[in-house]
Amino acid sequence: MSVPEPEHSHSAIHLSPTGNHFHQLIAAIVLWSPNAESELYLTSHPQDEVDKDLLERELWDRTNGLDTQLHIYEDTTSLLFDLRTTIQRKSNETNAATLLTYDTDDEFDTQAFLRGLCIKTDSKWPLTGFSVSNLFPSIQNHVNTTVSTYGTTRDVTQLSKLHELFSITQHSVASVTEKHPWYQELLYDPLSESMSVAHAHSQSEYLQVLLHTLAQAHRIWELGVIAREYGIINE
């Protein structure tokens, strides 16, 4: 599944927190590379005995064989250290100069959350080697995403809903990403909203957490492809 696509100079990252304030931690974080290769980082509860092999097999089955590398930690400091090491390596191995996030104004800020966590754990900034760019404001400022349903008008901002809205466009850009496994053809996200991740993590439902976080990174990367194709971003 790892087929290099050098024309795409962005990677994507999605972080699922255990909550949204200073004392919360990372439930999972996924780095999605241009060749559809993903690094998954999961924090488990110390009392849990996580079967990594079983989780990897379940991920493989549920995602139809996506190329994933799973890392499991009981402490955030080790996770942040290894994430930084991986990102440095990825920035040297690929031409992906930009790392895309998708953070809406009223939900979550990936970089702000990570900065607070690094300060709290005395960890080095992990997103080194990339130019980090939030995809949301670029789309909001350059695309009309207002929809009308049953007489009610609303602006689509939620990542999964926006990706679904743009999903028809994948056929227009399929020629430049023909080896890429499009998310709409897999549909493996078991959680309807990101807020469900914190509850799933508290219940040690780690497969649910990983699948949702992976799906979000998958969606962000694809939105990045569409954004480049239509001149929404130029990085």
DSSP notation for 114-163: HHHHHHHHT---S-TTSEEEEHHHHHHHHS--EEEETTEEEE--SHHHHH
What range does the domain containing 80 cover? 10-229
Residue 5 belongs to a domain: no
Q: 107: phi > 0 → left, psi -120 to 50 → alpha, else beta; which?
A: alpha
In a domain, 235, yes or no: no
pLDDT digits (tens, 9 = 90+) for 116-147: 999 999 999 999 888 999 999 999 999 988 88
Which residue type, as a one-letter code, is found at position 233? Answer: I
Residue 203 lies in a domain: yes
The pLDDT of residue 7 is: 54
In a domain? residue 126: yes
The string over 73-86, giving b where at least 16 C-beta atoms fall within 10 Å of a residue's C-beta and e elsewhere, is beebeebbbebbeb
The answer to whether residues 123 and 25 touch, using CB atoms and an 8 Å cutoff, is no
Question: What CATH number is given to the structural domain containing 110?
Answer: 3.30.420.10
The confidence band for 4, taking pLDDT boundaries of 50, 70 and 90, is very low
Yes or no: say if 179 and 5 are a contact pair by the CB < 8 Å rule: yes
Q: Answer yes or no: is 1 within a domain.
A: no
pLDDT for residue 35 is more than 60: yes
Please check the confidence at residue 168 and state whether its pLDDT lies above 90: no
Say if 181 falls within a structural domain: yes
Q: Which residue has the higher pLDDT, 23 or 115?
A: 115
Does pTM surpass 0.95?
no
Work out how many domains the chain is built from and give that number: 1
Backbone phi, psi, residue 114, to 5°: -65, -40
CA–CA distance, 139 with 137 (Å, rounded to integer): 5
